Structure 1
Amino acid sequence: MSVPVVPKYYNWLIAVSVLLLSLVGCEVDGPIPAYVHIDNFDLSTTTSQGTASERITEGWFYADGEFLGAYSLPADVPVIAEGNTEILVFPGIKVNGIVSTPDIYPLYDRYEINLDLSPATTDSIKPKTEYIKASNFPFIEDFETSNAFIDDLDGNPETKVVVTESVVFEGMHSAYIRLDSANFYIEVASLPVIENLPTNNSPVFLEFNYKNNVEFGVGLVGVSPSGPGGKVIILGLREKEEWNKMYLELTPSLFASDLPAYQILITAIHSSNNEVSEIYLDNFKVVHVDQ
């Protein structure tokens, strides 16, 4: 029987492996962190700012000006500090609902607190936030007393946005779209038009709540003095059995089109997987920094 040849470096590898394993069992001296526990943000709004519905999914943490990281909430954040420490937490969202695009929401204010930290102890905080003072709300529709989505672009009076009391996110009313095999397509926009939105790459977001059993698209219709300025679907939204919150970024589309006015566009096609395709909507608001 032949004996396998052992490479010359094999014994060296064994020696290194034994050394590494021995190091694993050794205690490593280092600073012991304090911890800051955070559950969720509490958003407060005024009557002129619409719903306080939010989907703040991350906190972006700073301690005495040093960035500690972005943490999915709830979180226990380790802080290498002791004594009086300034903690800043910026509310974070999933831009366009995409998991891979978490970012600080520029229209929510940061939370500030000073904590007396001690190693190996946990301080719990209950952060509050509100819209920054420079926020502007040129479009708000909660469907309680009105319905802005009345500009029928598909030419079919049977496909429309109606106000309903049967399924609501909050309050007494939400909006409802019904599609079937006979009335299978909807394209509708908001009125009146929204004027003077920033087109200089300043942050502009469309917030809304929704639940749906069919995909639908949300975008913009451009309006210019010479007539329609074109349509763009910014995002397609997949089915959601439960109410969800969307932060749709309008900034790139506004920057690319640079028009004086816009409408919010909603479009959908009936799915053959459904006998009836349904979309529920609520609490639309366009938010940007005042120019």
Structure 2
Amino acid sequence: MKNTPIVLILFTVYIMSFTSCLKDMTIPVYFQIDSVDFSADYITYGTASHKITDVWVTVNGVSVGVYELPAKFPVLTSGKVKLQFSPGIMMDGISSRRPSYPMYTSCFETVDLDVDTVYSFRPSFTYADYVDFAFKEDFEDAGLKFTAIESSPPLEKTGDPKNVFYHKGEINNYSGKISILDTGSSFFEIITNDAYELKNTNTQYCFIELNYKMDIPENDNINVEVGLYVNTITDQKVQRPLIKIKQSPTWKKMYINVTEAMHEQSAYMKDFTVYIKGTTKAGVSATCFFDNIKLVYIPL
């Protein structure tokens, strides 16, 4: 019986420790991510312009959610942990399609966390080193990688500062410009000069990235479509629209999914060209500006 007080003391310590552990398991830490950084070597990857809208977060390899930026959210964890932040985008400009973008790297950090504490992070991303580019059109070189079809207005370069795309730290002297005049054709169409042999046998993922804006009178519209002309093994040409671009008077960044169309057509596809076309009502003037058009892919 002399040992009873010692047993009670040990039992009390155990209960207190167990209760403390349970308490720690129910008190979260808080992660705050207001924005992200993105960098890219211009010679290798082209512009570092991006539209990362979300961050996918894992803790010790377990997903804790996808968060639209800026974000502050609770996480039930503590102690030393390994964090992974992956960049999310709006694929095809659609808010309901928000995957982790496979062309960009993830960001990893190892931190020691205390419960009931706010931790701020600013993940940094770049292009993954296994990514390749079929073409990059930044309109800075002498030639152009797109040509207007017959009867379409021509694709030109503009150096007008108010219409040239600009990204901090980069030399941006020109952007692409194509105008529909109220006295001319009510459409335009440009197509890549080269065809690209990307298919499911040699390519895992494929996207078109581009910056764009439109100049059009108020209350008028222009319908702009991006797609592929698939050249088949039987020498047929099949048009495969990808998306309609939302009208915008300011520069926007878009990520267009080519992977689904590429896999869908691969059984009979030899190669494909990329087209951009626009139409207006008769008598409407409109100008579209494009820059940093990239056909980016991950080879198998």
Aligned to 1:33: 28
- C-alpha displacement of 1:180: 2.6
The Cα offsets for residues 161-182 of structure 1, whole Å up to 9 and x where unpaired, read as 1111111112011111111332
Q: Aligned to 1:193, which of 195, 204, 220?
A: 195
Conserved in 1, the CA contact under 8 Å of 2:204 and 2:299? Answer: no
Aligned to 1:148: 145
Q: Distance in 2 between matches of 1:82 and 1:289?
A: 36
The reply on whether 1:287 has 2:296 as its aligned counterpart is yes
Counterpart of 2:213 in 1: which secondary structure? strand
Q: Distance in 1 between matches of 2:122 and 2:64?
A: 18
User: Which residue type is aligned with residue 53 of structure 2?
Assistant: T
Q: Distance in 2 between matches of 1:160 and 1:233?
A: 21
Aligned to 2:229: 221
Conserved in 2, the CA contact under 8 Å of 1:198 and 1:204? Answer: no
Aligned to 2:84: 88
Q: Distance in 2 between matches of 1:78 and 1:119?
A: 10
Counterpart of 2:250 in 1: which secondary structure? strand
Q: Distance in 2 between matches of 1:224 and 1:198?
A: 12
Aligned to 1:173: 174
Tell me how large the CA RMSD over aligned residues is. Answer: 1.8
Aligned to 2:185: 183
Aligned to 2:111: 115
Counterpart of 2:273 in 1: which secondary structure? strand
Q: Distance in 2 between matches of 1:271 and 1:172?
A: 32
Aligned to 2:208: 206
The Cα offsets for residues 237-287 of structure 1, whole Å up to 9 and x where unpaired, read as 121121111100001111122223221101111246x84211110001111
- C-alpha displacement of 1:139: 1.1
Counterpart of 2:179 in 1: which secondary structure? strand
Conserved in 2, the CA contact under 8 Å of 1:180 and 1:270? Answer: no
Is there any run of 5+ residues in structure 2 with no aligned partner, and where? 1-22, 167-171, 217-221
Aligned to 1:266: 276
User: Which residue type is aligned with residue 98 of structure 2?
Assistant: P
Q: Aligned to 1:246, which of 242, 251, 254?
A: 254
Counterpart of 1:147 in 2: which secondary structure? coil
The Cα offsets for residues 192-234 of structure 1, whole Å up to 9 and x where unpaired, read as 222x213357211000001124220001112346545222221
Q: Distance in 2 between matches of 1:147 and 1:77?
A: 46
Conserved in 2, the CA contact under 8 Å of 1:86 and 1:114? Answer: yes
Q: Aligned to 2:102, which of 91, 103, 106?
A: 106
Conserved in 2, the CA contact under 8 Å of 1:207 and 1:286? Answer: yes
Q: Aligned to 1:131, which of 121, 127, 130?
A: 127
Counterpart of 1:192 in 2: which secondary structure? coil
User: Which residue type is aligned with residue 199 of structure 1?
Assistant: N
Q: TM-score, normalised by structure 1?
A: 0.83
- C-alpha displacement of 1:95: 0.8
Aligned to 1:44: 39
Conserved in 1, the CA contact under 8 Å of 2:29 and 2:117? Answer: yes
User: Which residue type is aligned with residue 211 of structure 1?
Assistant: K
- Taking only the aligned residue pairs, the percentage that are identical comes to 27
Q: TM-score, normalised by structure 2?
A: 0.81
Conserved in 2, the CA contact under 8 Å of 1:59 and 1:90? Answer: yes
Conserved in 1, the CA contact under 8 Å of 2:213 and 2:251? Answer: yes
Q: Distance in 1 between matches of 2:47 and 2:231?
A: 27
Q: How many pairs align?
A: 258
Q: Distance in 2 between matches of 1:198 and 1:227?
A: 17
Aligned to 1:162: 156
Q: Distance in 1 between matches of 2:177 and 2:82?
A: 46
Q: Distance in 1 between matches of 2:200 and 2:155?
A: 28
Q: Distance in 1 between matches of 2:31 and 2:154?
A: 49
Conserved in 1, the CA contact under 8 Å of 2:205 and 2:299? Answer: no
